[in-house]
Structure 1
Amino acid sequence: MSETLKAKLRYASTPPSSEQIEKIKKILEKKFDDAVIEVETIEDPSIGGGFVVSCKNFEYDWSDAGRAKQLRAELNNLSKKTEEHDTGRIISMLGNKVVDFKLQVEDREVGTVTWVGDGIANVDGIEHAFYGEIIEFEDGTRGMAQDIRSDHIGCILFGNDAGIRQGTRAVRTYKEAGIPVGEAFVGRVVDALGSPVDGLGEIKETEYRPVEQPAPGIVERQSVNEPMETGILSIDTMFPIGRGQRELIIGDRQTGKTSIALDAIINQKGKNVICIYVAIGQKASTVAKIVQTLKKTGAMDYTIVVSSTASDMAPLQYIAPYSGTAMAEFFLHDGKDVLIVYDDLSKHAVAYRALSLLLERSPGREAYPGDVFYLHSRLLERSCKLSSELGGGSITALPIIETLGGDVSAYIPTNVISITDGQIFLESDLFFEGMRPAVNVGLSVSRVGSAAQTKAMKKSAGSIRVDLAQYREMAVFTQFSSDLDETTKNQLRHGSVLMELLKQPLEHPLKMHEQVIILVAANAGRLDLVPVKRVRDYKEKLLNYFNTEQGEICEELEKSGELSDQLKKRILDSVDAFNDVENKQLKEEIEIAHGNN
């Protein structure tokens, strides 16, 4: 026996004829597998003209109000894509749109809001929505289907929920959540939905990309083989990062994590790399300060800042890193190299936890939902080095995680450590001792970067990591001892000089040849007799000497990327010549000082 369904037909003023009702019945019977349709007619002046048919949770809109809404959406899209000053062209194109406009009468699945609050809306009546689908509410607010259950769907809202009430209508759009992307976004500050927030006007997009995208498969990738130099001596020598790698920056708050990421962005100047900085849950003043730093150093010319501040709702903080990655993938598939910084994923996980608890999902360890690992794995797996056949583009990810009391064994830190290709661990004790950047040599590691390191860097780095580890161990045992043998004294002196060399001020990344020169000189013991207090001053003078008077050596290092024995000897001879001049000047300064006394 066929099912009997009731349909409501709303009309503006003139009731439909019996012939029209029969036609509507046939359309609905076909839609609902030959069910028996009973049509109830209701007068509704608000629709303007025409009529609207609702049956179960589907709606067919032949009304003037529906036609006007579709036309308005078409005109909005058109005006965004057209230059503002080209008024004549706009009027012509708008005219064409109005003349050629055809109402698309499609069955739309419609539901009603049963609960709303804190950026979440539960919708009843929509049975066929897919995960990540955009749902549109009566007041124009849009949300994304995040939680799909047998009796309702949970939507996260990308706008203010003030206009949404219990009983508000929600309509499926059959579209996946996506954001505008394109070259025009470079140099701009945008929110999590790709809208500009820097007051510099609209951005003309090239295309739209879904925020959630499957990561490239194994066959589509190639191994990491190019360096992504940060300009930070301690990282480029011991924990090098390659293009397509995911290197975690981890440490307590206020230990310089963001500073490392910013220096890495600043160091990409002139290297044909697009940088994307995603701020998640940061203060608006902090983001403004970062933008100012990037502008001051000229890095904003090749950087996009995606900002979802602490004042934004949890859904926007949740979607921000995926939006940033969608922008990065536009350049990736264009064969370009991208560096993306997620600052920070701890706040991202907290935003996701808030959403999940509001969606009434079961809390697990530390109250995080069970799929919080998948949250970050599907994000970070999108960073890769594509194969040459696909253009050879890359996305290098620098996710940032904040620890509490240096505890790397907490839930979120262990999750992200297991997803990434290595971590740079910043230690509070080192930071407070004045070691900036405060990189812990023992706990930091890069699992693939050395494969992408230049030969010159690999050769010059030598045993620096082992020397530093031995120095720190020896310094602990000998701090209370006064009687030390000469070998131990030499090792301690060498280690203290190395520690001082690795100190680096903010916004002063070093070029590759500068790092190689410092390492060659340090490993050969040419700096061991320099007093620790004068090491930083000595380093600056030495690099200035090479850049101004030994340009050939610098040029050869940059061009070849190799360090032959002959070139190494030339570097050491130049260092010795510099030391002779420096020692002579020092003796003269001492004699003058004694003479004055």
Structure 2
Amino acid sequence: MSELLKAKLRYAGIAPSEEQLSKIKGILLEKFDVPDIDMELVQDTSIGGGFIVSCKNFEYDWSDAGRARQLRAELNNLSRKTGDRETGKIISMLSSKVENFDLAIGDREVGTVTWVGDGIANIDGIEHAFYGEIIEFEGGTKGMAQDIREDHIGCILFGNDTGIRQGTRAVRTYKEAGIPVGEAFIGRVIDALGTPIDGLGDIKESGYRPVEQPAPGIIERQSVNEPMETGILSIDTMFPIGRGQRELIIGDRQTGKTSIALDTIINQKGKNVICIYVAIGQKASTVAKIIQTLKKTGAMDYSIVVSSTASDMAPLQYIAPYSGTAMAEYFMHQGKDCLIVYDDLSKHAVAYRAISLLLERSPGREAYPGDVFYLHSRLLERSSKLSSELGGGSITALPIIETQAGDVSSYIPTNVISITDGQIFLESDLFFEGMRPAVNVGLSVSRVGSAAQTKAMKKAAGSIRVDLAQYREMAVFTQFSSDLDETTKNQLAHGNVLMELLKQPLEHPLAMHEQVIILVAVGAGRLDMIPVKKVRDYKERLLAYFETEQGDICEELSKSGDLSDQLKKKILEAVDAFNDSENKILKEELESGNH
């Protein structure tokens, strides 16, 4: 014979009538499919009125406290959706909500906290939670089911754990972890849960998206064929990035990784691209500086900053990139193009390692858990270019990884290199030599390549990589030689000019037509006679000359995106005319100096 099922009914003032008790018993008998229930009645004034029934690990809440909590949640939700509309409308909507309020009497699975610390809580008694479900604790703190075991669930907390202790009740919400999304988030700074942290008031969301979402399938994608121009000459010519691509930026600390990402964001001005910058484990002062740069350059008008600083708990740092991606997916499914920067995934992996060790998962190589590859692959696979049937929107990802002493063969760098479609490798030695951006041409690669370049860029870039490789080789062999033949001297002079041209100051991205003009001029050897120290000034004067005197060439390049032989000839003629005028000015300066 099966053991009699026990239930506990807590009431505030007056005990329920026999009729009410039989109704409650009927609900429980149907739910648990048992012949009879032993009901224990307990008076509890803290619930304010009504009653709460607990049976096994489920709870039915008919109390005043429960009603108030549910009504408060609905009113909060309503006021968030209405935003700053007319006061009269809001009042009428709220009053109708109160009048027509209907208590949802669903059963809720309830457990108790057995251990809490470092942003992790172990909960006993919840048997049916799913991975990624939001769990609510007494006091309002929320968490997410992260580790589901036979005897307990491990939950990561999205708030302060000071109000949570052993024995605290935790309730299932049956909702997947997600964040609010919408157009109103553009130009704002939010935390990992979508709450604004820039002091500019609440944000009216247009929807709610789960932070974890399956990546688009093969049929839902199309090949990457549109350029995502960074405005950085060395990258756009040799390692072009396409809309929907994932290009890793990798290098030691302080080699200019974030600068490349920021320049790319700044270069999207007027190109109808929404940029999302996700700061993971950065210092708050660093994030403030980045926001200042984006505001100064006008890039904040089309950007969203998702910030989870070093002072945030590990669970918030862990969820931040997924939240940023959920935000980007909202725009992608509207047919828009998005650029998302994860700065940086090394700190993300460290936050995940901390969580995993606290959840008592087995550590593997470098103490990272075994699923750390999946951590980044399921994140980066969500970046893609959708098919035309789905609107053709895209997410381009620029994950950043920090190496230790240039070691790209360690665990996390090799993982992310194998997930992405290429990497831009920044080298400390080049950086200290003054080569900025410090891109290592030998180790950097784009696996999408020229498919994501405009025709003009493809034709103009031509043999730049080969020229640079030959120059590097030649420079090593000839550094101790004194008597060089004319061909070698010319090759070295060309290489020196090329290297100098690839240096680019911060926050000065170049437009596509400017890059093509420079490449055509240097490719034809028109800059080889210029002393290396004067190359940068010459470049700026040449581009200014084209903007003012040769606007039709710039316009034709921008509109057609192609470089015909006729247009190339026009560019070279204009460069020659500019060189002649430069030589004339130089001659006059020398003559006046002699007099």
Question: Deviation string for 1:83-142 (max 9, x for gaps)?
Answer: 446222222111111110000101100000000111111000000000000000011000
CA contact (8 A) 2:275 2:302 kept: yes
CA contact (8 A) 2:5 2:34 kept: no
- Mapped to 1, the partners of 2:167 and 2:31 lie a distance apart of 26
- Mapped to 2, the partners of 1:52 and 1:261 lie a distance apart of 54
Secondary structure at 1:322's aligned position in 2?
A: helix
CA contact (8 A) 1:2 1:35 kept: no
- Mapped to 1, the partners of 2:528 and 2:48 lie a distance apart of 87
Q: Which residue of 2 aligns with 1:406?
A: 406
- Mapped to 2, the partners of 1:318 and 1:35 lie a distance apart of 47
Which amino acid in structure 2 is aligned with residue 430 of structure 1?
A: L
- Mapped to 2, the partners of 1:24 and 1:74 lie a distance apart of 26
Show the 5 A alignment for 1:72-91. 72-84=72-84, 86-91=86-91
CA contact (8 A) 1:309 1:317 kept: yes
- Mapped to 2, the partners of 1:317 and 1:419 lie a distance apart of 21
Secondary structure at 1:161's aligned position in 2?
A: coil
Question: Deviation string for 1:531-575 (max 9, x for gaps)?
Answer: 000000000011111111011111111111111111111111111
Q: Which residue of 1 aligns with 2:194?
A: 194
- Mapped to 2, the partners of 1:593 and 1:350 lie a distance apart of 63
Q: Which residue of 1 aligns with 2:327?
A: 327
Show the 5 A alignment for 1:40-439. 40-84=40-84, 86-439=86-439
Compare 416-425 and 60-69 and name the one that shifted more. Answer: 60-69
Q: Which residue of 2 aligns with 1:505?
A: 505
Which amino acid in structure 2 is aligned with residue 528 of structure 1?
A: D
Q: How many residues align?
A: 595
CA contact (8 A) 1:224 1:449 kept: no
- Mapped to 1, the partners of 2:449 and 2:302 lie a distance apart of 24
- Mapped to 1, the partners of 2:589 and 2:260 lie a distance apart of 37
Question: Deviation string for 1:217-247 (max 9, x for gaps)?
Answer: 0000000011000100000000000000000
Q: Which residue of 2 aligns with 1:515?
A: 515
Question: In angstroms, what is the RMSD of aligned CA positions?
Answer: 1.0
- Mapped to 1, the partners of 2:314 and 2:590 lie a distance apart of 63
Secondary structure at 1:112's aligned position in 2?
A: strand
Structure 1 runs of 4+ with >6 Å offset: none
Secondary structure at 2:154's aligned position in 1?
A: strand
Compare 35-44 and 13-22 and name the one that shifted more. Answer: 13-22
Q: Which residue of 1 aligns with 2:31?
A: 31
Which amino acid in structure 1 is aligned with residue 508 of structure 2?
A: H
CA contact (8 A) 2:80 2:205 kept: no
Q: Which residue of 1 aligns with 2:552?
A: 552
Q: Which residue of 2 aligns with 1:525?
A: 525
TM-score if structure 2 supplies the norm length?
Answer: 0.99
Compare 29-38 and 204-213 and name the one that shifted more. Answer: 29-38
- Mapped to 2, the partners of 1:3 and 1:489 lie a distance apart of 96
Quote how far apart the aligned CAs of 1:52 are: 0.7
Which amino acid in structure 2 is aligned with residue 251 of structure 1?
A: G
Question: Deviation string for 1:338-378 (max 9, x for gaps)?
Answer: 01100000010000001001111110100000000000000
> Where does structure 2 lack aligned partners over 5 or more consecutive residues?
none
**Compared with structure 1, are the counterparts of its residues 529 and 138 closer, same or farther at alpha carbon in structure 2 (3 Å cutoff)?**
same
Question: Deviation string for 1:20-43 (max 9, x for gaps)?
Answer: 323322221221122542111111
Question: Deviation string for 1:165-205 (max 9, x for gaps)?
Answer: 10000000000001000000001111111111111111000
Q: Which residue of 2 aligns with 1:584?
A: 584
- Mapped to 2, the partners of 1:37 and 1:85 lie a distance apart of 51
Which amino acid in structure 1 is aligned with residue 445 of structure 2?
A: V
Secondary structure at 1:66's aligned position in 2?
A: helix
CA contact (8 A) 1:157 1:315 kept: yes
Which amino acid in structure 1 is aligned with residue 120 of structure 2?
A: I
- Mapped to 2, the partners of 1:427 and 1:192 lie a distance apart of 31
- Mapped to 2, the partners of 1:536 and 1:84 lie a distance apart of 51
CA contact (8 A) 2:9 2:51 kept: yes
- Mapped to 2, the partners of 1:90 and 1:422 lie a distance apart of 51
> Where does structure 1 lack aligned partners over 5 or more consecutive residues?
none
CA contact (8 A) 2:244 2:383 kept: yes
CA contact (8 A) 1:190 1:305 kept: yes
Question: Deviation string for 1:135-168 (max 9, x for gaps)?
Answer: 0001100000000000000111010000001000
Report the identity percentage: 86
- Mapped to 2, the partners of 1:171 and 1:395 lie a distance apart of 36
Which amino acid in structure 1 is aligned with residue 343 of structure 2?
A: D
CA contact (8 A) 1:232 1:504 kept: yes
Question: Deviation string for 1:281-318 (max 9, x for gaps)?
Answer: 11111111111111111111000011111111111100
Which amino acid in structure 2 is aligned with residue 475 of structure 1?
A: A
CA contact (8 A) 2:250 2:423 kept: yes
- Mapped to 1, the partners of 2:286 and 2:257 lie a distance apart of 14
- Mapped to 2, the partners of 1:510 and 1:20 lie a distance apart of 75
- Mapped to 2, the partners of 1:461 and 1:92 lie a distance apart of 64
Compare 474-483 and 323-332 and name the one that shifted more. Answer: 474-483
Which amino acid in structure 1 is aligned with residue 99 of structure 2?
A: V
CA contact (8 A) 1:421 1:447 kept: yes
Show the 5 A alignment for 1:474-513. 474-513=474-513
